[in-house]
Amino acid sequence: MMSLRFCAAAIVMLLAGILPSAARADTLANVKAKGAVTCGAGPATRGFGASNVDGQWVGLGADYCRALAAAIFNDAGKVSFVPVQPADRVSALASHRIDVLADLVSWTLGADSGGGLRFVGTMFYDGQGFMATKAASIRSARDLDGKRVCTESLTAAGKAAGYFEANNISATATAMPNRDAAIASYLAGGCAAISAPSSVLAGIRAGLPQPGDHLLLPDVTDKEPLSMVIAPNDDRWFAIARWTFYALLDAEELGVTQTNVDEMLGSDNISIRRFLGVEADFGSEIGLNKDWAYQIVKGVGNYADIYDRDVGETTPLKLPRGLNALWNKGGIQYSPPIR
């Protein structure tokens, strides 16, 4: 017969396995109780993260937060943006002061393994590039041979120098004290080009007196995937956050846009019918209504709609899709199917 001591130990072990799971946050329930998705926003790069422009929060991260709100509340406007400094990101998520960070974070092993962040998906595939004046007739990094390149940090200078060495380009990468100093030296002719992440360079160019006089070179030195992040230890919230992002991509691939989404409800395409919730129910498993993807597209559009609105060719940033095009259009953006 099992001893009382053994039974007590077994119960303690059982509770030890159950209680941590029970103590985990139910972010979806908290969001519903508040009546809004709370998004952290810091000093984001223009067009990325969330930036307050003329009283409106704009950018890829801001629109992603609106997509989350649309999926949960059928209302993309139920979002509250809270200023959060980069140093406070982890604590703000851990304390549930924010539900998601609207500023896109570089997805690296160090950031992923730190325990305080959970990366949702790559909203923008970035990488360190170069910008030069059109008048200098520099059209690629190879044209920088024998020239000086300015960067805003030692880290950026190291990346540029490594790229030059790997490609036998005898250019010199010089770290300036900060971004403003790098820009000033570039404009004064102290360096033939400036090197930084392409997202940053596009913002710098947009803020110059004559943006059209400057060219982003096609060369990229490294990989810098930019992702939305949430707190760890809430698998349902992670599923909602991840599939909200995937829905944006899937909608573009299926040809479902903000302008035609209602018309698409009558489509004979089974993939579109599943996506919009006309056929089957793929929302209840993660705590959403069956038409959650329809609500996302109706509220904010698909990935192309968001990209074009925030950073695309018609915006001051004028960034081509590049790697951020869909997998069947020359890029690497890809969504698992909803089925």
Residue pLDDT, tens place only, 287-316: 999 999 999 999 999 999 999 999 999 999
- Token pair for residue 16? 């030890």
DSSP letter at 213? G
Distance CA 160, CA 303 (A): 31
**Do 27-125+225-329 and 128-222 show the same overall fold?**
yes
Sequence-distant (6+) residues with CB within 8 A of 14 are none
Fold of 27-125+225-329: D-Maltodextrin-Binding Protein; domain 2 (3.40.190)
CATH topology of domain 128-222: D-Maltodextrin-Binding Protein; domain 2 (3.40.190)
**In the beta sheet, which residues pair with residue 225?**
125
- Structural domain spans, the chain: 27-125+225-329, 128-222
Sheet of strand 118-126, all strands in order from the earlier edge strand to the far edge:
79-83, 37-41, 100-106, 224-230, 118-126
C-alpha span between 38 and 33 (Å, rounded): 12
CA distance 65 to 241: 9
CA distances in angstroms from 97 to 28, 34, 80, 88, 100, listed in the order given: 14, 11, 11, 11, 9
The Cβ of residue 18 has, within 10 Å, a number of other Cβ atoms equal to 10
How far apart, in Å, are the Cα atoms of 242 and each of 41, 99, 235, 257?
Answer: 19, 13, 10, 20
What is the chain's pLDDT, residue by residue, as a tens digit (339 residues)?
344 333 333 333 333 343 343 345 799 999 999 999 999 998 778 899 888 877 789 999 999 999 999 999 999 999 999 999 989 999 999 999 999 998 999 999 999 988 889 999 999 999 999 999 999 999 999 999 999 999 999 999 999 999 999 999 999 999 999 999 999 999 999 999 999 999 999 999 999 999 999 999 999 999 999 999 999 999 999 999 999 999 999 999 999 999 999 999 999 999 999 999 999 999 999 999 999 999 999 999 999 999 999 999 999 999 999 999 999 999 999 999 988
pLDDT tens-digit series, residues 9-48? 333 333 334 334 334 579 999 999 999 999 999 877 889 9
Cβ neighbour number for residue 242 with a 10 Å cutoff:
18
